[in-house]
Amino acid sequence: MKHSRHLTRSISALVAATLALTACGSSSTPSASRIDPVDRDDSIEFVGQSDTDSAPTGPPPSTLVTPPKPQPEPEPQPEPEPQPEPEPEPEPEPEPEPEPEPEPEPEPEPQPEPEPQPEPEPPVPGPADIVEPSPCGPIDLIPADATITGDLLVDVDNDGDADDRLIGYETAGGDWYLRAVIDGIHSEVALPDDAWPQGVVPLGMTELGSLTEGLEVLAVTGGGASGKSLGIFGFDADDCLFRFTVSGGNPLDIYIGATVNFLDAFGCLSTPYVFGTAGFWSSAYVNEGPDGWFGSSAAFGETSPGDFTYLPASDDFIDGLTLDDLPTDMFDCPGVTHP
Ligand SMILES: [Ca+2]
Ligand SMILES: [Ca+2]
């Protein structure tokens, strides 16, 4: 068999080579040429060629002698590209803190109310005119905002000088007074609050009361549209003003005036030649239509200090008067200003 012969030759070659190596001994260094690479190569070629020349009878030769294919070296893995460092996430913006509420402004402390200023001095009279302590009792000066409705200089103390003062005034609150100022002594009398439209007006002084020393004062104390009310005032021993009463009761209030149906007149009896005393008379006339006017009159005198009463047998009555019989003047007091 050709295959067996070839295998035998290969074995023989191997033996020969082994012998040659043994012959060289350990004293000499084996050389590569002596290994006879040709034979080895021939042997290898031979085996391979024999496969092509003859039909295979056993397992494929390649499975016996073909060296394993070298495994390809693993391709170097590319180094991983460096990943860019992740950008840091932006920090969330802090939520805006709520603005603090403005503190309420402190309320202003209440200012103390200014102390009331003293009232300005009245125009009349000045404070130097007041004598302290006053024998007429405590009295304030006339308020500066009072309305002066009468201001008359007279001679009350009878020293020859008209340097005593009579003042009619109304306060801002509507109160009426007649004030007297004599040698710095103030005194006054309160009057009804309905003095308008006539007001309080001192008219003058004359002798009206025989029991009261000195002259008495006549003054308008009020009235209406068609007449005036008159009052009589005197001074006591301390030169303090007072008002006369009538019949021991109410303040004396005499009315003068005229309308188409009434007429009221007043006259002074400064000379006590009729009734033996000073005083005044008062007349009243009433229109009775076709019967004409009816008239009556009476006289009054100071029968007790500070009070006037009807003087007996002083009254008089008359009927059937005409307008020509009536007095033409409603006021008759010599030396006293006509109201
Ligand atoms: Ca005087
Ligand atoms: Ca008198």
Cα–Cα distance, 311 to 320 (Å, whole number): 25
CA 158 – CA 127 distance, rounded (Å) = 24
- For 205, residues 6+ apart whose C-beta sits below 8 A from its C-beta are 154, 155, 156, 215, 216, 217, 218, 336
Angle between helical axes of 2-24 and 37-53 (0-180°, round to 10): 170
Q: What percent of the chain has pLDDT over 70?
A: 61
Q: How many CB atoms lie within 10 A of CB 243?
A: 19
Sign of the four-CA dihedral 129, 193, 256, 233: negative
Structure tokens at 108: 């202003």
Distance 147 CA to ligand 2 centre (A): 30
CA 67 – ligand 2 centroid, Å: 178
pLDDT tens digits along 154-211 = 999 888 999 999 999 999 999 999 999 998 899 999 999 889 999 999 999 999 999 9
How confident is the model at residue 51, as a pLDDT? 41
DSSP letters along 153-194, please? EE-SS-SS---EEEEEEE-TTS-EEEEEEETTEEEEEEE-S-
Band of the pLDDT at 243, cuts 50, 70, 90? very high
- Taking the centre of ligand 2 as the mean of its atom positions, its distance from the CA of residue 265, in whole angstroms, is 22
Ligand 2 centroid to 13 CA: how many Å?
A: 199
Write out pLDDT tens, residues 263-282: 999 999 987 666 778 999 99
Cα–Cα nearest to 179, from 128, 125, 229, 215: 125
Gap between the Cα atoms of 7 and 326, Å rounded: 202
Ligand nearest to the CA of 153: 1
Per-residue pLDDT band for 71 (boundaries 50, 70, 90) equals low
Supply the pTM of this predicted model: 0.63
Name residue 300's beta-bridge partners.
280, 310
In this prediction, residues 91-96 reach a mean pLDDT of 64
Residue 19: predicted pLDDT: 42
Which neighbouring-strand residues pair with 311? none
Q: Which of 281, 289, 275 is nearest to 323 (CA)?
A: 289
Quick one: tokens of 55?
């039909």
Q: How confident is the model at residue 20 (pLDDT cuts 50, 70, 90)?
A: very low
Q: Give residue-wise pLDDT tens across range 302-324.
A: 999 999 999 998 999 999 999 99
| Nearest CA-CA partner of 219 in 284, 266, 269, 159 | 266
Half-sphere exposure of 121 (CA within 13 A, CB side): 8
Q: Considering only residues 205 and 8, tell me which one the structure prediction assigns the higher pLDDT.
A: 205
Ligand closest to the CA atom of residue 208? 2
Ligand 2 geometric centre to CA of 232 (Å): 11
Distance 160 CA to ligand 1 centre (A): 6
DSSP annotation of 251: B
* Closest ligand to the CA of 180: 1
pLDDT of residue 112: 60
Calculate how far, in angstroms, residue 239's C-alpha sits from the geometric centre of ligand 2: 12
Tell me the ligand closest to 235's alpha carbon.
Answer: 2
Pick the ligand that lies closest to the CA of residue 215: 2
Structure tokens at 79: 């180094």
Q: Which ligand is nearest to the CA of 183?
A: 1
Q: Minimum-distance ligand to the CA of 160?
A: 1
- The predicted model gives 225-229 an average pLDDT of 94
pLDDT at 15: 40
Please check the confidence at residue 149 and state whether its pLDDT lies above 50: yes
pLDDT above 80: residue 99: no
